[in-house]
Chain A
Amino acid sequence: MRVLIATAVASVLGSTVAFAGAAVAPGEVKFDNGTVAASLTGVAGDAAEGRVVFANRKLGNCLACHTNTQIPEESFHGQVGPTLDGAAGRWNEAELRGIVSNSKMTFEGTIMPAFYVQSGYFRPIEKFDGVSILTAQQVEDVVAYLMTLK
């Protein structure tokens, strides 16, 4: 029953993507040495939307762990992970897509959550069971935003 509900939730989330059905499912993402070359949706990421997802505590919540001087209006940036200032100069798009989707493929044992997996974690609260933290398009939007951090 829970699987059915989770599947239903996942498909509802998926349908908000510009081209329903076009998104690569979380379990189908192809990693090559931690990188993901192809877009998850085929739709170009929206950097402005990515900035919103990046800062939103219920979405990316990236500021919980990373500082980013391009978002000065939010106070208290976290210091668990490295600063994301200049991220685009250190990583290319495929590397960033891989790290946002599932950073454990790049950094073994990292504390960083995988934002585009829907299984492999235990005891999730029911409403998060079988769903990824971000949608495929939100991942693309965040990657597009990170690519602006020169």
Chain B
Amino acid sequence: MGMNLFKTTAAIAGLALMGTGMATAGEESALTINGDLTIPTSASAPAHLENIDMVTSGWIYRTKETQALQMDDFDNPSFVFVDVALDLWDKVDGSEGKACSSCHENGPEEFAGLTASMPRINAEGQLETTTELVNECRTERMGAEPWKYSKGKMAAMTSLIGLQSRGSVVNVAIDGAAAPYWEKGKELYYTRVGQLDMSCSNCHEDNYDVMIRADHLSQGQINGFPTYRLKNAKMNTTHARFKGCMKNIRAKPFGQGSDEFKALELYVASRGNGLTVETPSVRN
């Protein structure tokens, strides 16, 4: 009941915000959190980007009211879910009688900087995501069941881990063993799909900072993910957002955790190289 009420309130708040003035890219684009952590919301585009000079955080395209929610952790609804993850952190699960904290004795802070470099190539030469790292711990070291790729517990835990990189500059590797994954992700980014026949680039490269109905199109950067959305009042993972976009253009989504979405995650993350991690961010 308490949760339902919270969701309803958040949804109403979301509706109310839609009616207010739209923020304009570049205008008052200073994001300071808790009065002391200043996060640059734009940066020179990484060298591999051919059609964009500056990369920008999705934060600057949101309304002043939505922006404000991310400027204080007491106002940021993400922290309800970060707290859920902190409880899970200490919770013993699986055949080995372990919790996260059993091995990671110094707390989630051990993961400072990790999310800024994810996804990355693992020791076996395969692309791996933060989500997969968590599930690898669960299945191989805890003897526990893996969590669903984008469901509540995993979205909360990857938010907690991402928070440890808040303020770090995004810098995912795209060369070496990562190159073929990156090329595949780039191809997906520019491939039109669905009955509406659109690619990621049609909206997020060709038309960012433009209104598509009531939505102010962003560059689709993922430096704030997982992100709390006013629309559904929960943490949203990158793969869940990819799925939502594909459904919007009436395309059959790839699976969450699929090779396609992992490659796309790497490519989209690399489009934000130079931006600063904002996780857990707030969007509409």
List chain A positions with a Cβ less than 8 A from chain B: 63-65, 75-80, 111, 113-114, 120-126, 128-129, 131, 133
Task: Kindly identify which residue among A63, A77, A111, A122 contacts B193, using a CB–CB cutoff of 8 Å.
Answer: A122
Number of residue pairs across A and B with beta carbons under 8 Å?
Answer: 70
- Tell me if B252 and A80 are in contact (CB < 8 A): no
Chain B 83-125 near chain A by CB (<8 Å), digits 1 or 0: 0000000000000000000000000000000000000000000
* A125 and B194 contact, CB distance less than 8 A: yes
Q: How far is the CB of A149 from chain B (nearest CB, A)?
A: 19
Are B213 and A77 closer than 8 Å at their CB atoms?
yes
Distance between B25 CB and nearest chain A CB, rounded to angstroms: 13
Is B211 touching A125 in the complex (CB atoms < 8 A)?
A: no
- Are A121 and B193 within 8 A (Cβ)? yes
Least CB distance, A83 to chain B, in whole angstroms: 12
What is the distance, in angstroms, from B173's C-beta to the closest C-beta of chain A? 29
Q: Which of A64, A65, A125 has the most CB of B within 10 A?
A: A125
Q: Is the interface of B mostly helix, strand, loop or mixed?
A: loop
Question: Considering the complex of A and B, which 6 residue pairs feature the smallest CB-CB distances, nearest first?
Answer: A76-B214, A128-B195, A111-B202, A113-B196, A121-B197, A123-B193
Residues of A within 8 A of B193 (CB): 121-124
Tell me which residues across on chain B come within 8 A of A126, comparing CB atoms. 252
Chain B, residues 190-222, CB within 8 Å of chain A (1/0): the string is 011111111000110011001111100100000
Is A111 a contact of B252 with CB atoms below 8 Å?
no
Q: Give the interface size bracket for B toward A.
A: 20 to 34
Known: A123-B193, A126-B252. A111 touches B211 (CB 8 A): no
Q: Chain B residues near A133 (CB, 8 Å)?
A: 195-196
A122 lies within 8 A of B212 (CB): no
Known: A79-B210, A113-B195, A113-B197. A123 touches B202 (CB 8 A): no
- Please give, as numbers and ranges, the residues of chain B lying within 8 Å of A128 by CB-CB distance: 194-195, 250
CB within 8 Å for A123 and B251 given contacts A113-B196, A133-B195: yes
Please name all residues of chain A whose beta carbon is closer than 8 Å to the beta carbon of B194 when the two chains form the complex.
Answer: 121-125, 128
A39 CB, nearest partner CB in chain B, Å: 24
Take A111-B202, A113-B197, A113-B198 as given contacts and tell me if A125 and B210 are in contact as well, using a CB distance cutoff of 8 Å: no
